[in-house]
Structure 1
Amino acid sequence: MTASRRPLTRADLAPLARAAVGGNRTLVDATRLRGGSKKGVYRLAFDDGFSAIAYVWSPDEDYWDAGPSDLRDPFSHGTGLGLFAAAHDRLAAAGVRTPRLLHVDAEARQAVVEDLPGGSLEAALPRDPALLDRLAALLDILHTHTGPRFGKVALVDGGGTSYGTSCEQRVLEGALRDIAEVAGREPRAAAVRERLVERAGELAARVRPRERHTLIHGELGPDHVLLTQDGELALIDIEGLLYFDVEWEHVFLEIRFGDAYEALRVPDLDEDRLRLYRLAMRLSLVAGPLRLLDGDFPFTEFMRGIAEHNLVHVLDLVRR
């Protein structure tokens, strides 16, 4: 954090911690965990060895500086206590594990959840590849659930309707915005801008209408899955939970899991949607990191690496 973004201290978080666990425990340490760009994630350590995780949604914790989020846009800035609470409740109803909610302070836009001790799936996979089978089973459960319309769970479950007429329309619109943004920042993209626009349009034109809207996480990488003490898998960073095309989920899984994705692949995915969504997702993974680098996000080399890696793939996809 820069001087303008001070991490919260133990004293700052003590009232939240006391409200979450009661007065029989004393907060002895509060540490901001690395990696959060939209919210602050703090491990709360208590005098008896118990620990919990605090989520803090505030402008000081959000490096994107995106301002208010429009729920009617499925791809708007997915952060906030309201989105988290709606996603938590929907996953619980679906029978999908996520850290248990211990306390919510709606006025302060803060929440406390259980601290899962098993680490991340990303760290565990090299020593236990069979965990991919458990993730595949979890995805089977998640993806059996559908919604009446596409959009963020908080909106759709509340009876709302998203902008646009279809998932593929919203993806194409987002891809065209990202093409314009990336071309304005990166000469290699500018050189093929017209071809990128043409390619996105060609791919979108092949997609046939569909009515099924599947419950998906939206950004499900191995770092967004934690292990419980019993080895159960639990999803985190759930604010982006939405009803959408299941292919959008699988394109992200394909990108993040690489060769290991074969264990998660399922039959009967729509190849036309996959082709469009691969291009759109790669574009998003260039535009987003470049936008984040305009601010004071501290892990700049990491973000530049993501942007460069995905730009190479975008240029490859447009040549096909």
Structure 2
Amino acid sequence: MRQFAEIEDLAGIVRDALGAGCRVVTVDRLRGGSKKGVYRVRLGGTSTASVIVYSWAEAENFWPGAREADPADPFAPASGLAPFLAAQRSLDRLGARVPRVHLADDSRSRYPADVAVVEDVSGGTLEALFETDPARAAKALGDLAETLEVMHGHQGQHYGRVDLLERNGPVSEVSCERRVLDRALRDLEEAARRDGRIAAAGAALRDRLRELAERVSPRTEYGLVHGELGPDHVLVDADGQPVLIDIEGLMYFDVEWEHVFLQLRFGERYPALVRPGLDPRRLDFYMLAMRLSLVAGPLRLLDGDFPDRAFMQGIAEHNTKEALALLPLRQP
């Protein structure tokens, strides 16, 4: 039975962050996280009405049996205070809006896990705002496009997660496209073990992945990308500005990888985010690889005890159909 944080667990760390006079009134664990716990803490005795606490405790991580990761692989699981703070610093330096950090602690002396107390951005998600206030959402979407232009234009000569590059970690000798191909083939293998439709089309999907990868030319400069930027990972603050969250996977990589995810998650609103100069061959290859990732990942998560099972099953089912639809039609 997983044990999550209660008021008494978080009261001390929140007082350390905001001062001894603040009082924790309620603690609510927010839904949706699979690698860290996200808690909204409502306060009394202070001008700050609420804060968010991130907890990277083991009990908050629902991913079962992660395989041994190549330290140079930017797709290796990104979780913990170090990648969060490295991403927060990098984005803040570029002028991208991220939640302000009140306190960060990995000493385990105050709390038995990496923990951060951050600003509670009160405007909700961009995803929700599309439904409740379309005009305000459109303005935030335009500002998000400008933020992404800055991020993607911030180039590096090596790809990898920013926290690893910041620590002079290993630099991969494998190209981005080869990295994506290897990952997609593993995802295909995992998905085929869990879904008969993917298994039946396994050879065709494998051949298609390799064919698309062979069309991609080498590249030596990479943009700064969020990696999983959907409208649920963008909050909107009181001034209407977009605020990026779930930033631990921030990395230098092909910007087409980001744009494929943006296209999937923003759908009909994606044209507001598109930019000129994207490589169409990379987009085609990365789209199939992304679809397979969004089959294998949710199904892998469902091997464990992730609570919102219908939601994850729905993601896997939708992307199974979309991945199969990307195969060329057979000639009669």
Question: TM-score normalized by structure 1?
Answer: 0.96
Shift of 1:50: 1.7
Matched, 1:255 2:255: no
Partner SS state of residue 25, structure 2: strand
1:65 aligned residue: 64
Matched, 1:136 2:141: no
Q: Which runs of 5+ in 1 are unaligned?
A: none
Answer whether contact 1:286 1:308 (CA < 8 A) is retained. Answer: yes
Answer whether contact 1:121 1:227 (CA < 8 A) is retained. Answer: yes
1:297 aligned residue: 306
* RMSD (CA atoms): 1.4
Instruction: Choose the corresponding residue for 1:119, options 118, 124, 127.
Output: 124
Answer whether contact 1:148 1:156 (CA < 8 A) is retained. Answer: no
1:55 aligned residue: 54
Partner SS state of residue 261, structure 1: helix
Shift of 1:156: 1.4
In structure 2, C-alpha distance between the alignment counterparts of 1:152 and 1:13, rounded to whole Å? 30
1:38 aligned residue: 35
Change (3 A) 1:71 1:90: farther
Matched, 1:152 2:157: no
Answer whether contact 1:97 1:234 (CA < 8 A) is retained. Answer: yes
Shift of 1:70: 5.2
CA-to-partner distance for each residue in 1:268-317, whole Å, 9 max, x for gaps? 10011001100000000000000000110000000000000000010001
Partner SS state of residue 27, structure 2: strand
1:168 aligned residue: 177
Answer whether contact 2:126 2:236 (CA < 8 A) is retained. Answer: yes
Shift of 1:164: 4.1
Shift of 1:69: 6.0
Partner SS state of residue 247, structure 2: coil
Matches within 5 A, 1:260-299: 260-299=269-308
1:27 aligned residue: 24
Shift of 1:144: 1.7
In structure 2, C-alpha distance between the alignment counterparts of 1:74 and 1:292, rounded to whole Å? 19
CA-to-partner distance for each residue in 1:235-265, whole Å, 9 max, x for gaps? 0000010000000000000000111111111
1:92 aligned residue: 92
For residue 15 of structure 1, what is the amino acid of its counterpart?
G
Shift of 1:319: 3.0
1:5 aligned residue: 2
Answer whether contact 1:150 1:244 (CA < 8 A) is retained. Answer: yes
For residue 59 of structure 1, what is the amino acid of its counterpart?
E
Change (3 A) 1:70 1:110: farther
CA-to-partner distance for each residue in 1:38-82, whole Å, 9 max, x for gaps? 100001111146210000001100001355865421111121111
Change (3 A) 1:239 1:87: same
In structure 1, C-alpha distance between the alignment counterparts of 2:185 and 2:171, rounded to whole Å? 19
For residue 301 of structure 2, what is the amino acid of its counterpart?
L
Shift of 1:157: 2.2
Q: Which moved more, 1:21-30 or 1:300-309?
A: 21-30
Partner SS state of residue 118, structure 1: coil
In structure 1, C-alpha distance between the alignment counterparts of 2:69 and 2:249, rounded to whole Å? 12
Answer whether contact 2:64 2:303 (CA < 8 A) is retained. Answer: no
1:233 aligned residue: 242
Matches within 5 A, 1:206-221: 206-221=215-230
Partner SS state of residue 52, structure 2: strand
- Of all paired residues, the percent bearing the same amino acid is 50
